[in-house]
Amino acid sequence: MQLTHPPFAPKVLQTLQSLGIRTQADIRARGAAGAFLLLKAAGLTVTRSTLWQLAAAERDIGVHDLGPSEKAALLEAVRRHPPVAVFPSQTEMEDFMRAALAQAEQSAAAGEIPVGAVAVKNGEIIAAAHNTCVGSCNISRHAEIGVLEAAGKALQNYRLDGCDVYVTLEPCCMCAGALIQARVARVVYGAKEPKTGAAGSVVDLFGDIRLNRHTAVAGGVLADECGALLQRFFNARR
């Protein structure tokens, strides 16, 4: 079922459509709380009434059918929801991920586990790094740590407000913590890491409400290419 005006205000409807949320099924896929936060992330001023409208559309009921307990649960869902952001187009994300993959290739050539990362601000790469743990005899020299250090030097600030980090592999706990502490706005990763991934595979530090959350995450960008590079590396070592 297509979303319409009414019940949604024209600006709300237009913004939803620009975000790819055009039907009841689209709201259900994101959840009312997620769609509401995405509207805010897009810069739209929204009120609780918009949240009620989204929830009603998701459930195919009238707004007046939402009771006080259901509204309270919706507000709690918004409070507990992982950070939300409007991400670049798929083409743009893939372009930056290819730059991260080029970094990962450098790791592989040096005998390091092939993971690469780039930091982006205002649509431009400001830093790049790859795994150097073996060569530096330092377990902390993951690609993410290296790119945060390089980006901090480029901006002369340890807080990377407004920056995105693209990394070929889902960050581990160490790197997820550093990305959050650096106030990175968005993290985009390629392949999942089922053994140590801290963006949802094992734990989700980015969405843990006990932490000072700042960073939205998107995964699966060029996942096959990123995973294939890792597979080739480990096959060669066997």
Q: Check the annotation: does 133 bind a ligand.
A: no
Q: Check the annotation: does 226 bind a ligand.
A: no
Q: Decide: 198 and 204 in contact? Cβ < 8 Å.
A: yes
Q: Which residues fall within 8 angstroms of residue 40, CB to CB, at 6 or more apart?
A: 46, 84
Closest CA to 75 of 41, 52, 44, 46: 52
Is 76 in the active site? no
* Other beta carbons less than 10 A from residue 100's beta carbon: 32
Indicate which residue of 58, 112, 124, 144 is catalytic.
144
70, two tokens = 């259901």
Q: Check the annotation: does 81 bind a ligand.
A: no
Query: Residues marked as binding?
Result: 142, 172, 175
Q: Which residues are known to be catalytic?
A: 144
Binding site for Zn(2+): which residues?
142, 172, 175
